[in-house]
């Protein structure tokens, strides 16, 4: 069973996450999205778990604000669909750093495998704003910018908390 870090609800079986799961089930069942489980993203968090975290919180915030929660959930799953370990993949000469180029790679992968709306495109390609320079076009795109950073902080915090617990236990 899957759940977003910081959430107490299983996305597959809880009443609270039923609508969210309905929106993203086809993505979560796809081979290409599941391939993200192979790649570490923030310390011990996989790219898949990070995208699930961003997607779930993106969905909750957009639903609360009366925005398009379905597109927000779907874009959250796809926003880091770059399928490589950015720490181990050398940058080619003249190539932008990973943080600036991976949104375009994720968008290309998403469009090759799924129907992606213009709003979802904008969320995926601009989730790293202001690094990506172009301003987000939609309110949902600004939400994913913040949600992506929030999820990264949660993931790093979870990692640090585990390290502290292990240190205390071994002392």
Tell me the backbone φ, ψ of residue 45, rounded to 5 degrees: -85, 135
Spatial distance between the Cα atoms of 52 and 5, rounded to a whole number of angstroms:
9
Tokens 């949660």: give the residue: 154
CATH number at residue 59: 1.10.3210.10
pLDDT tens by residue, 6-21:
776 677 777 778 899 9
Q: Do the domain assignments include residue 5?
A: no
Alpha carbons 64 and 62: distance in angstroms, whole number:
5
User: Residue 4 falls within a domain, yes or no?
Assistant: no
Residue 125 lies in a domain: yes
Looking at the DSSP assignment, which residues form a beta bridge with residue 121?
Answer: none
Angle among Cα 29, 1, 152 to the nearest 5 degrees reads 85
- What pLDDT sits at residue 69? 97
Closest alpha carbon to 81 in 43, 27, 24, 44: 27
pTM of the model: 0.86
* Total domains, the chain: 1
Q: What are the pLDDT digits (tens) for 122-131?
A: 999 999 898 8
Residue 22 lies in a domain: yes
Query: Considering the domain boundaries, does residue 9 fall inside one?
Result: no
Chain position carrying tokens 């069942």: 29
Q: Does residue 145 form part of some domain? A: yes
Q: Are 110 and 102 in contact (CB under 8 A)?
A: no
Give the number of C-alpha atoms closer than 13 A to the C-alpha of residue 114, restricted to the C-beta side.
26
Domain limits for position 42: 15-86+96-170
Tens digits of residue pLDDT in 88-142:
766 677 667 555 678 998 999 999 999 999 999 999 999 989 888 789 999 999 9
42 pairs with which residues across the strands?
Answer: 45
Question: Mean pLDDT across the stretch 148-155?
Answer: 91
- Beta-bridge partners for 90: none
* The pLDDT value given to residue 1: 60
């Amino acid at each position: 069973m899957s759940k977003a870090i910081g959430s107490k609800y299983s996305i597959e079986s809880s009443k609270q996450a039923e609508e969210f799961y309905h929106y993203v089930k086809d993505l979560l069942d796809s081979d290409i999205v599941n391939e993200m489980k192979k790649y570490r993203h923030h310390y011990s968090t996989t790219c898949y778990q990070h995208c699930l975290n961003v997607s779930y919180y993106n969905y909750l915030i957009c639903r609360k604000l009366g925005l398009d929660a379905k597109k927000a959930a779907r874009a959250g799953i796809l926003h880091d669909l770059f399928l490589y370990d950015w720490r181990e993949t050398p940058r080619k000469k003249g190539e932008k750093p990973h943080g600036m180029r991976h949104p375009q790679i994720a968008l290309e992968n998403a469009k090759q495998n799924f129907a992606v709306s213009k709003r979802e495109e904008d969320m995926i390609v601009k989730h790293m704003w202001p690094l990506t320079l172009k301003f987000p076009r939609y309110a949902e795109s600004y939400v994913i910018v913040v949600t992506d950073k929030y999820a990264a902080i949660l993931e790093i915090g979870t990692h640090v908390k585990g390290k502290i617990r292990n240190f205390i236990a071994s002392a």
